[in-house]
Structure 1
Amino acid sequence: MLITTHRDIGAAIRERRKLLGLDQAELASRVGVSRQWLIQVENGKAGAGIGLLLRLLNALDLKFTLDTGKATTSETTLSQHDPSAVLDRVRKGGKPS
């Protein structure tokens, strides 16, 4: 999933939490934050502390990666940017690319 806004981060977190079968209270407890804070993050509220956000991503076993957006090899294919292909790879235990 390409993340370009704080709302995208919130949507990705909500999606992953649900995929893992966690409710907001359980995830908030694991991360050490309030359920209200998690609700705000999932709703895309700007200003969430980066340290807490990184702890949240870690609790969901999500990795935060930055890249230049430029293809670095000729091996980059359209399927790497196809959301369905990315989800299929993640569901099979692979990296989202």
Structure 2
Amino acid sequence: MEENITMEERITTALDLGRVLQGARTIAGLSQAEAATRLHVSQSWISHMELNPETVSAAQLLALMEVYDLALYVGRR
């Protein structure tokens, strides 16, 4: 994982979440298959989460964030 790259994104829609998940995976230097291996899921599951982020559960989101080395901050719009 590249330590000097930072990512700070505002997520207000499900589409934003999908874009952020895909970007975070890329910044982490992981292919969908590599991310899937780390999460013990299929590559198609990773693809599904990126393309259909409205279906991501809180538990799934937290697992993805752990693998992509992300933190979640909540604030007012």
TM-score (norm 1): 0.63
Find runs of 4+ consecutive structure 1 residues off by over 2 angstroms: none
Tell me how large the CA RMSD over aligned residues is. Answer: 1.3
Q: Deviations over 1:15-61 (max 9, x none)?
A: 11112221101101112222111101111342222101111111100
How many residues are treated as equivalent by the alignment?
69
Matched, 1:61 2:69: yes
Matched, 1:43 2:54: no
- The higher radius of gyration belongs to 1
Give the gaps of 5 or more residues in structure 1.
Answer: 70-97
User: Post-superposition shift, 1:14?
Assistant: 0.8
Q: What's the counterpart of residue 21 of structure 2?
A: 13
Give % identity.
32
Task: Between the two structures, name the one with larger relative contact order (CA 8 Å, sep ≥ 6).
Answer: 2
TM-score (norm 2): 0.77
Q: What's the counterpart of residue 5 of structure 2?
A: none
Give the gaps of 5 or more residues in structure 2.
Answer: 1-8
Is the CA contact (8 Å cut-off) linking 2:15 and 2:53 kept in structure 1? yes
Is the CA contact (8 Å cut-off) linking 1:11 and 1:44 kept in structure 2? no
Is the CA contact (8 Å cut-off) linking 2:17 and 2:53 kept in structure 1? no
Matched, 1:52 2:60: yes
